[in-house]
Structure 1
Amino acid sequence: MPQLRARLGFLGALAITTSGVVCLGAAGATAATSPATAPRSAFNASYDGGARVPGLVGEYLATGPNAVTNGTVIGPDYTQGTLASEAVGREAVQLTAPGQYVQFTLSGNANAVDVDYALPQGSSGSLALYVDGRKVTDLQLTSAYSYIDTPQIYGSKTRHFYDDVRVLIGRELHRGDTVRLQADANDTALPYTVNLADFYQVAAPAQQPPNSISVLSEGADPTGATDSSAAFAATIAAADARHETVWIPAGDFAIDTPLQVDRASIEGAGNWYSRVRSNEFIDNASAVPGPVNLRDFAILGDTVGRHDDSTANAINGSLGTGSVVNSLWIQNANVGLWLQYGNTGDVVKNSVILDTDADGLNLNGNATGVVVRDDFIRNTGDDGLAIWSYPAVDSHDVFAWDTVEQPNLANGIAEYGGTDNTITHDVITDSNALGSGLTISNEQFASPGFTTLAGTIDVSHDTVIRSGAMNPNWGHPMSAIQIDAYDYAISGVALNLDALNVYDTPYSVFELVSGDGTGLPITGLRITNVNIAGVGTVVFQGETQGSAYVAGVHATGVGVAGTVQDQYPPATPQFQFQLGSGNTGWSLTPTLDYFPAPAS
């Protein structure tokens, strides 16, 4: 969710190398070779975190070490509203003429690929896919779900340029095999911008389990030509009466009317095979008993533009108590899962959420003991994952082992209020304008009913990469990690940030702010055992009053010495730091009363 305060200050364009050294400029060309320096990946075995999604065997950036191209590399870039700045890695490859390509060399087995790409606005067309030099298929690409405008969100620009297309290759690929994406003579939607390719090892479709009822038995249409909403509803009712599972076989099923589900177990043949075509599959507009278990199918929408005034989210409302959402693939929806009214002890795991116009997943109040783990979220039009304690508290919830890439408006992971919640072992990359990689905030957005931060908020073992950007409303940069006493002071809460890794930050690492501009204080904050590598400006950016205990913060490649103390309103006291042992590579002095430009 966006910040709305306006301030004056440094505003400029910049780019940053993977070593953390910042330079001006944003584009260049390359021969058919790998780039000399590749962006740091979100998937790395050395990280103490990140999603372990079943079947995902590797993410290969178009400018990464496993890729070669004769196209044009764009970026790296951190300016708002550009193709390069929205890309994972802040750079991509453009194919501008027939014969240009990006080629990936596999380091392991795979049989399917998902390509993250962008086309010019209003265009669609094909792009050839070759395996070991032989053409396999034409990928069908579109810009229909891109180029979102939200004038109601102050400071936003046209954005959300990328989309995804996935395909089962039809053969087993092995280490050393090559997959080439090439603009052939009949591929005319130029230029093609290729960001990355995710390779998967997809199992054969599952068979219908015993004690289940197929939606085909109630007349569901597996071709997607006719609406299957009534057939699904009838199957859910019949299965509930017999305490059996609802089975979605392989096929395409149109759901034009959202389903209201008090309790059910709905299972598919696999999320590459059982495909529900719907912008809103489930809409439970009040608390349900549950459980509503969902497993092994895809929800594929065709939402165009953001709809904050609508319930048109892939899964909306209450799932009740003890529900398990496992191995879903959600794409091109307004929101993946907007959970509200009542969700207790639910688990969302092993799922992929791509290309949403707003949030990936939001716990919108009344969520207790919900665990969101091992989920992969990319290209969201708002927060990737969010805890929002409105209109009632979210408590004892956990975001763990998730990977969030490329949120193109707000934050990677955000907590707005809540009690005794945990954010741990997650990886966040490439947050864009109006957001940070990770935000802990008392911004309420709506009232009455918001519940402020309380109890103990534990943030640990998370990795934040290339996050933070120039905020067009404030006129100064947002940090990789933001602590924000926006509408209420942060007090009476133990806020622990421990064992974090922060890499390749374009501006500062920690921002301590009262985003509504009233100078509310931050207390109860402990920042310990943080490894920082590559910072454009300073480690700490103080903008409000308060205090924090800081120990074991080790930084290398810091661009600007000292600490920013630019409080707003101007009479607000400076933020105070109580330093413990083990702080290296950065300093509190000199005190900067302005936001410096990144070092060149």
Structure 2
Amino acid sequence: MPPPAFRRLRAPLAALTAAALSAAALLTVTTQPAHAAAVPTLSPLDVPGRGAAVKFKEQEAEFAATNGTVIGPERRYGTLPSEASGRQAVTLSATGQYVEFTLTAPADAMSFRYSLPDSADGRGRDASIDLLVNGSKLKSVPVTSKYGWYYGGYPFNNNPGDTDPHHFYDETRTMFGSSLPAGTKIRLQVSSIAQSPAFTVDLADFEQVGAPIGKPAGAIDVVADFGADPTGAGDNTARFQSAVDAGRAQGRTVYIPPGSYTLYDHVVVDGVTLAGAGPWYSVLGGRDPVNRNRAAGIYGKYVAGGGYGGAVRPQEANGPSRNVTLRDFAVIGDIRERVDDDQVNALGGAMSDSTVDNLWIQHTKVGAWMDGPMDRFTIRNSRILDQTADGVNFHTGVTNSTVTNTFVRNTGDDGLASWPERVPNAGDSFTHNTVVVPVLANNIVTYGGRDFTISDNVMADTVSNGGGLHIANRYPGVGSGWGTAVAGTVNALRNTLIRTGNSDYNWNFGVGAVWFSGLNEPISGAAITIGDTDILDSSYEAIQTIEGSSSGIAFTGVTIDGAGAYAIQAQAESTMRFTGVKARNIAQSATPTHNCVGAGFRITDGGGNSGWAGSTCGGTWPAPQFTYGGRPGGGGPGTPSPSGTPSPSTTPTSTPTPSTTPTPTTPPGTVDLLHGRAIAASSYTDVYPPQRADDGDRASYWESANNAFPQWITGDLGSPVAVGRLVLTLPPGWEARTQTLTVQASTDGGSWSTVKPSAGYRFDPATGNTVTVQVPGTTARYLRLTFTGNTGWPAGQLSEFQVYGP
């Protein structure tokens, strides 16, 4: 479903000027901060003993002090909150609006995750937001939408005229100039909406960076010894290449002093240590202004027959590289699109007996795309953010290698992946990592491979076309004919999955939090164990089999707590053994297992199981009912919080506290009956289709063709139900206007009756730009609003079309 967009506010200049002056007054008047009213959710950083041990303290915007608008919780693809951590964020859409965090530990730096609306041409917009410390402005921080907003189908583009916008968020970072104590108030505040009509803040990470790391004794200095420019001017590729070549020849570390270094191409490393002053100080970036398929990256040498796509330069051949150490610097690139043939990754090639330690990788295509054969390679203690494709991919012949204690967020494809395309991967592991919000595909996956360990990880907030943990014989080059199929022992132990899987818009049914696929050939002969694992608040089903049979799978000591539809969804034959698998808070509580393959799906009961018995094979896939820590949620702004949740100022607890009974049905009259269902309109303009009036985001909206009344918008409730009232909204920052409309109802979509004759309804920011239309005694499947006038703009406009029972 198309996401929210805020490309224009549809208000006259005079009104915007008056609003700006009014909001500006907020900067000088002390006001009482309003805490965000958000649904409590489990943070991926609050799982003891699992995930990466990060250096920062994270705070979600929806639990901070704010006078903005909380959006979400929502998980439908293409909606702005669906890509937010915890599926909630705060939108600031007027001058003076803010989100304010309180430091829980000393910090001298912060990074924050945000989204700006795209520009009309898809090239992105630049803006800034003020950073205040204890009420005083410290600086303005630049923000941009240039690294987000992709459109259309895979491999995506930057054309706003295409459908399915996604990848909305980005991160930026800044230092305070000094260490600030715990209790300090850090505020992000809008100073102007001239450059961007809205700013959505997802979260902030605070840390103590400290002083830069000094040059190691005896090290080569890329600036002092080889003339590299730390100001970001010009291409330094040749200077860096000469420095690392000298480091190898002389057996000396190569040091990158503090600075920003522009590289137009790969620096090829072999038998050398490349070390920086820390990832906040030594930053590599850049891209060839002419040959756009060349950009900053540190690469090992390729092996003949490896997986490299494209021509290999002479200095990149005859690999693998060996005995490489890369540590304590950042690669922050300038990649704004996905072209799979372009080698514009932060790390690449083949590096055996090598280590990557404490790198910050951002705005590249893939954080590390490793093309073997190569052996004994480690990535550790690193951050990989905002990629257009994968976070890490062990691609072709990567053996005995690992990613550990690494934090991955906002990848455009799989977070951590192993793909042995025609060359086996074996003995690899992904351990103690945190992987959050892969916009496409899976948090962690092995497409084939032998003897793989996936342990002690946290996976959270899958968005689309994938699940949390995926084990499969899928993708080209994976199968027994190449020796690359799933084989040996695969141990997925002590993992926590939070809000993973999704209700997939391509398949029109769910993808599991944990799922198995035998697409290329059956998964057989391997010993696969999913053990000591928590599968929490799954977006559709917790466990899934699909596309081909699987066997040899054992689930041991697994908690399934919350699922939007099923505990188990069997769409392919499989044999499994369940021991101590306990499920609760499953939306389809009467039939928590979906099985249409009959006796082909077999579970051996090892004892200690509960909550997943009872099967169905329905002809219709149910809409998901999302839970958050066992509590219902997902109605978007304006939906009452479930009873029993903490007050708005309370931080969520570190573990879910679900009830011991299945999630209750929300009483009629408090749940939006149209939410998530089909919606259509007589017309729409530009990038404002009718689905935006049903996306749970007050800041997005539908707009009909201009100067062409009458226009209508129709919602399909799925079946005839009793209706009591309609709630219609416009974005909260818009000026007042009156829209003239008629309400009609139908049970079959063919014959219509008028339930409210034509009347003018005033949308006023003083009352939240919200109108309630009472329609008691109405039974309908379809509800239609026909617009014949609008005093604010010559079109029908709605940001939310909500329908409630009597």
| Shared fold per TM-score greater than 0.5 | yes
Kept after mapping to 2: 8 A contact 1:544/1:572 = no
Partner Cα separation in structure 2 for residue 242 and residue 444 of structure 1: 43
* 1:221 matches 2:229: yes
Kept after mapping to 1: 8 A contact 2:420/2:477 = no
SS at structure 1 position matched to 2:339: coil
Q: Once the 2 structures are TM-superposed, how far is the Cα of residue 445 of structure 1 from its aligned partner?
A: 3.0
Which residue of structure 1 aligns with residue 534 of structure 2? 501
312 and 194 in structure 1: CA distance in 2 versus 1, 3 angstrom threshold: same
- The 5 A counterparts of 1:370-449 are 370-446=401-477, 449=482
* 1:526 matches 2:542: no
- The 5 A counterparts of 1:150-549 are 151-153=153-155, 157-185=164-192, 188-216=195-223, 217-278=225-286, 279-283=295-299, 284-286=301-303, 287-319=319-351, 321-446=352-477, 449=482, 451-514=484-547, 520-549=548-577
Per mean C-alpha deviation after superposition, the further-off stretch among 31-40 and 385-394 is 31-40
Partner Cα separation in structure 2 for residue 282 and residue 268 of structure 1: 13
Partner Cα separation in structure 2 for residue 190 and residue 446 of structure 1: 47
State percent identity of aligned pairs.
36
Partner Cα separation in structure 1 for residue 167 and residue 38 of structure 2: 28
Question: What amino acid is the match of 1:101?
Answer: Y
Partner Cα separation in structure 2 for residue 308 and residue 224 of structure 1: 27
553 and 485 in structure 1: CA distance in 2 versus 1, 3 angstrom threshold: same
Match among 120, 123, 133 for residue 117 of structure 2: 120
Kept after mapping to 2: 8 A contact 1:565/1:575 = no
Q: Once the 2 structures are TM-superposed, how far is the Cα of residue 550 of structure 1 from its aligned partner?
A: 0.8
408 and 474 in structure 1: CA distance in 2 versus 1, 3 angstrom threshold: same
Q: Once the 2 structures are TM-superposed, how far is the Cα of residue 390 of structure 1 from its aligned partner?
A: 1.2
Consecutive unaligned residues in structure 2, runs of 5 or more: 4-31, 120-124, 157-161, 287-294, 304-318, 626-664, 666-806
339 and 158 in structure 1: CA distance in 2 versus 1, 3 angstrom threshold: same
Partner Cα separation in structure 2 for residue 353 and residue 440 of structure 1: 22
Q: Once the 2 structures are TM-superposed, how far is the Cα of residue 593 of structure 1 from its aligned partner?
A: 5.9
Once the two structures are superposed, residues 147-193 of structure 1 have per-residue CA deviations (whole angstroms, 9 ceiling, x without a partner) of 12353459993211101100011121222211111101476422001
Kept after mapping to 2: 8 A contact 1:540/1:563 = yes
Partner Cα separation in structure 1 for residue 243 and residue 334 of structure 2: 25
Q: Once the 2 structures are TM-superposed, how far is the Cα of residue 300 of structure 1 from its aligned partner?
A: 0.8
Once the two structures are superposed, residues 503-536 of structure 1 have per-residue CA deviations (whole angstroms, 9 ceiling, x without a partner) of 122211011111xxxxx21100001111222222
Kept after mapping to 2: 8 A contact 1:364/1:391 = no
Q: Once the 2 structures are TM-superposed, how far is the Cα of residue 227 of structure 1 from its aligned partner?
A: 0.8
SS at structure 1 position matched to 2:365: coil
Larger Rg: 2
Per mean C-alpha deviation after superposition, the further-off stretch among 468-477 and 125-134 is 468-477
Which residue of structure 2 aligns with residue 51 of structure 1? 52
SS at structure 2 position matched to 1:234: helix
SS at structure 1 position matched to 2:51: coil
Partner Cα separation in structure 1 for residue 618 and residue 527 of structure 2: 28
Question: What amino acid is the match of 2:302?
Answer: A
Partner Cα separation in structure 2 for residue 335 and residue 79 of structure 1: 25
Question: What amino acid is the match of 1:200?
Answer: E
Partner Cα separation in structure 2 for residue 104 and residue 150 of structure 1: 36
Partner Cα separation in structure 2 for residue 309 and residue 450 of structure 1: 25
- The 5 A counterparts of 1:7-26 are none
Kept after mapping to 2: 8 A contact 1:389/1:450 = no
Partner Cα separation in structure 2 for residue 301 and residue 318 of structure 1: 21
Kept after mapping to 1: 8 A contact 2:38/2:62 = no
Kept after mapping to 1: 8 A contact 2:273/2:324 = yes
Q: Once the 2 structures are TM-superposed, how far is the Cα of residue 365 of structure 1 from its aligned partner?
A: 1.6
CA RMSD for the aligned pairs? 2.2
Question: What amino acid is the match of 1:344?
Answer: D
Kept after mapping to 1: 8 A contact 2:557/2:579 = yes
Partner Cα separation in structure 2 for residue 80 and residue 152 of structure 1: 14
Kept after mapping to 2: 8 A contact 1:417/1:450 = no
Kept after mapping to 2: 8 A contact 1:468/1:478 = yes
Partner Cα separation in structure 1 for residue 376 and residue 229 of structure 2: 34
Q: Once the 2 structures are TM-superposed, how far is the Cα of residue 559 of structure 1 from its aligned partner?
A: 1.3
Match among 566, 571, 577 for residue 603 of structure 2: 577
Partner Cα separation in structure 1 for residue 456 and residue 323 of structure 2: 27
Runs of 4+ in 1 over 4 A off after TM superposition: 153-156, 446-450, 590-594
What is the number of equivalent residue pairs in this alignment?
560
Partner Cα separation in structure 2 for residue 131 and residue 445 of structure 1: 52
Partner Cα separation in structure 2 for residue 352 and residue 98 of structure 1: 33
- The 5 A counterparts of 1:87-102 are 87-102=84-99
Question: What amino acid is the match of 2:369?
Answer: W
Partner Cα separation in structure 2 for residue 372 and residue 303 of structure 1: 23
Q: Once the 2 structures are TM-superposed, how far is the Cα of residue 450 of structure 1 from its aligned partner?
A: 6.8
Partner Cα separation in structure 2 for residue 235 and residue 523 of structure 1: 52
Once the two structures are superposed, residues 561-600 of structure 1 have per-residue CA deviations (whole angstroms, 9 ceiling, x without a partner) of 2244454xxx785411111211123323456565333345
538 and 156 in structure 1: CA distance in 2 versus 1, 3 angstrom threshold: farther
Kept after mapping to 2: 8 A contact 1:349/1:373 = yes
Question: What amino acid is the match of 1:166?
Answer: R
Which residue of structure 2 aligns with residue 60 of structure 1? 59
Q: Once the 2 structures are TM-superposed, how far is the Cα of residue 461 of structure 1 from its aligned partner?
A: 0.6
Kept after mapping to 2: 8 A contact 1:542/1:563 = no
Match among 612, 618, 621 for residue 595 of structure 1: 621
Q: Once the 2 structures are TM-superposed, how far is the Cα of residue 197 of structure 1 from its aligned partner?
A: 0.5
Kept after mapping to 1: 8 A contact 2:38/2:88 = no
Kept after mapping to 2: 8 A contact 1:563/1:591 = no
Question: What amino acid is the match of 1:258?
Answer: H
Partner Cα separation in structure 2 for residue 37 and residue 472 of structure 1: 25
Per mean C-alpha deviation after superposition, the further-off stretch among 445-454 and 538-547 is 445-454
Once the two structures are superposed, residues 366-402 of structure 1 have per-residue CA deviations (whole angstroms, 9 ceiling, x without a partner) of 1111111000010000000001111311111110010
Partner Cα separation in structure 1 for residue 89 and residue 483 of structure 2: 40
SS at structure 2 position matched to 1:327: strand
Kept after mapping to 2: 8 A contact 1:118/1:192 = yes
Partner Cα separation in structure 2 for residue 469 and residue 185 of structure 1: 37
Q: Once the 2 structures are TM-superposed, how far is the Cα of residue 294 of structure 1 from its aligned partner?
A: 0.2
168 and 525 in structure 1: CA distance in 2 versus 1, 3 angstrom threshold: same
Partner Cα separation in structure 1 for residue 33 and residue 181 of structure 2: 26
Partner Cα separation in structure 2 for residue 458 and residue 156 of structure 1: 39
Q: Once the 2 structures are TM-superposed, how far is the Cα of residue 282 of structure 1 from its aligned partner?
A: 2.3
* 1:83 matches 2:80: yes
Once the two structures are superposed, residues 537-560 of structure 1 have per-residue CA deviations (whole angstroms, 9 ceiling, x without a partner) of 211010001210011112232211
Once the two structures are superposed, residues 329-388 of structure 1 have per-residue CA deviations (whole angstroms, 9 ceiling, x without a partner) of 010000000011233111100100100000000000211111110000100000000011
Q: What is the TM-score when the length of structure 2 is the normalising length?
A: 0.67
Which residue of structure 2 aligns with residue 6 of structure 1? none
